Amino acid sequence: MSRVRTNLQTIIAANVRRRRLELGLSQEQFAEIAGYHRTYIGAVERGERNITVSTLSAIAAALKLDVNELIAPND
Amino acid sequence: MSRVRTNLQTIIAANVRRRRLELGLSQEQFAEIAGYHRTYIGAVERGERNITVSTLSAIAAALKLDVNELIAPND
> Which pLDDT tens digit goes with each residue over B37-65?
999 999 999 999 999 999 999 999 999 99
Min Cα–Cα distance to chain A from B9, Å? 7
Q: Residue B52 has what pLDDT?
A: 96
- Nearest by Cα to B68 from A75, A11, A2: A11
- Probe site for chain B from A4, A7, A53 (most B CB atoms < 10 A): A53
pLDDT band per the 50, 70, 90 thresholds, residue A6: low
Q: Residue A2 has what pLDDT?
A: 42
Residue type, B4: V
Whole-number Å distance between alpha carbons of B41 and A41? 29
- Probe site for chain A from B5, B44, B51, B53 (most A CB atoms < 10 A): B53
Cβ A71–B68 below 8 Å, yes or no?
yes
Cβ B12–A53 below 8 Å, yes or no?
yes
pLDDT at A74 over 90: no
Q: Please state the φ and ψ torsions of residue A52, each to the nearest 5 degrees.
A: -90, 165
pLDDT at A71 over 80: yes
Tell me the CA end-to-end span of chain A in Å, nearest whole number.
Answer: 23
CA nearest to B70 within chain A: A68
Q: Is the pTM of this model over 0.80?
A: yes
